[in-house]
Amino acid sequence: MLRLRRFLCCVLLLFPLSQLLAQSCTPPVETTVLGQAGPTEGPFWQQQLQFVRVRMAQAGTGPVVADRLRAHKLDPRRLEIFLRVIKTNRELEVWARNQGAGPFALLQTYPLAATSGKLGPKRRAGDRQVPEGFYEIDRFNPQSSYHLSLGLNYPNAADRALGEPDPGGDIFIHGGEVTIGCLPITDIGIEEVYLLAVAARAAGQGIIPVHIFPFPLNEKELAKRAASPHQAFWRGLMTGYTYFEQHHEAAELARLSVAGK
């Protein structure tokens, strides 16, 4: 009986140790950069995380972005986004969806911290104008003078066709609160949008559209500005504006036209 008691005591003492060993041999659950369970992120995330500001955004703002995606039933591994600015609304709209899951839905809006220029397209370097038209993100800048920034492919083909010999360039969505033609949304705002854009690109979205309009492009708003020299240009943008309003889907670039200055 004494031997049996000693044997049982040894078993009980060893049991917690065996549990600990079993746990230590179990591989940890891998998570995505935005906090959801999934495989290790791909090379684009890893390339971006080499930069201090992106790591800081991931640590500080990443959980907020992850919670927002979960609330909208969005999976960062399947994320697609669409960005839109209506100048008179003074905000950047971020629309999102899961790949192959129907139309975009509004995820969040970010107030513009500053604006410059006036209603109408950008046509030359130094005019302080924010462009108007159909663009896409073509650069991720994790070392921006304005915290983080996302570059637009301005000037595009339409800008080069309609603009002056030097239409300018380097138009960004960025942090901070100043602008001479870009779209500042504060440092906190750009951290969220930057992480969303990185997630979308890492999930396979090669083209992230950015549509910029002067005001809601409908007949009522156009009639208010009937004397503007930009009437024909704005009417050329109506196709893309109306298509998105009706379908919450970005029109193919082939459908979009610009009909004059």
| Domains of the chain with CATH codes | 44-244 (2.40.440.10)
Q: What is the pLDDT of residue 253?
A: 61
One-letter amino acid of 193: V
Burial of 159 (0-12, 13-18, 19+ CB in 10 A): buried
Question: What pLDDT score does 8 carry?
Answer: 42
**Annotated catalytic residue, options 147, 182, 211, 230:** 182
Residues 6+ apart with CB under 8 A from 105: 72, 95, 96, 97, 248
Contact 250, 82 (CB under 8 A): yes
pLDDT digit string, tens, across residues 87-146: 999 999 999 999 988 999 999 999 999 999 899 999 999 899 999 999 999 999 999 999
pLDDT in tens, 185-218: 999 999 999 999 999 999 999 999 999 999 999 9
The rounded mean pLDDT for the chain is: 85
Pairing of strands 79-86, 183-184: unpaired
Q: Which residues, in sequence order, are CB contacts of 261 under 8 Å at separation 6+?
A: 123, 162, 229, 230, 232, 233
- Alpha-carbon distance of 197 to 140, in angstroms, equals 9
Q: Exactly one of 147, 174, 211, 230 is catalytic; which is it?
A: 174
**DSSP track, 161-179:** HHS-S------EEESSS--
Distance from C-alpha of 141 to C-alpha of 51, rounded to nearest angstrom: 10
Instruction: Judge whether 248 counts as a catalytic residue.
Output: no
174 is catalytic: yes
Greatest Cα pair distance, the chain, in angstroms, is 105
| DSSP 8-state assignment for residue 37 | B
Within 13 A of 232's CA, how many CA atoms are on the CB side? 5
What is the end-to-end Cα distance of the chain in Å, rounded? 101
Predicted model pTM: 0.84
